[in-house]
Amino acid sequence: MSLFSFLFPQRQGTAAIARDRLKIVLAHERASRDAPDFLPGLQKELIEVVGRYVEIRDDTIRVNVGKSGETSTLEINIELDGAKLKVGTGKPVIVASANPGAAAAGRPAKPVKSG
């Protein structure tokens, strides 16, 4: 704190900041509130599917429905930073972590007998 601001404290209130922050956060929350019912289910299944290949945590996946003008968008965001791939799944995997040892140490992937 400078001597100036100590001697002449700002008299401007903080109510305007509160108002602006509220407007922004509520705009976001209202958009997701009107989201379709299938989102939680979709999110759960996505975690299952992606989780077969890479270890992910539940909170690293975000599913949003957005709308800009005429177009509706479904946005799926999966954070893989630091995620470990699972070995021996027999399918191409997303090597997500900067940890080449994990992939190299794994056995050669066995082809999956598809039935």
Footprint of other proteins on this chain (CB under 8 A)? 11-16, 18-19, 21-23, 25-26, 29-30, 33
Please state the three-class secondary structure of the chain as a single string.
CCHHHHHCCCCCCCHHHHHHHHHHHHHHHHHHHCCCCCHHHHHHHHHHHHHCCECCCHHHEEEEEEEECCEEEEEEEECCCCCCECCCCCCCCCCCCCCHHHHHHCCCCCCCCCC
Nearer to other proteins (CB atom), residue 18 or residue 74: 18
Minimum CB separation of residue 35 from other proteins in Å reads 11
Minimum CB separation of residue 13 from other proteins in Å reads 2
Nearer to other proteins (CB atom), residue 29 or residue 70: 29
Nearer to other proteins (CB atom), residue 33 or residue 107: 33
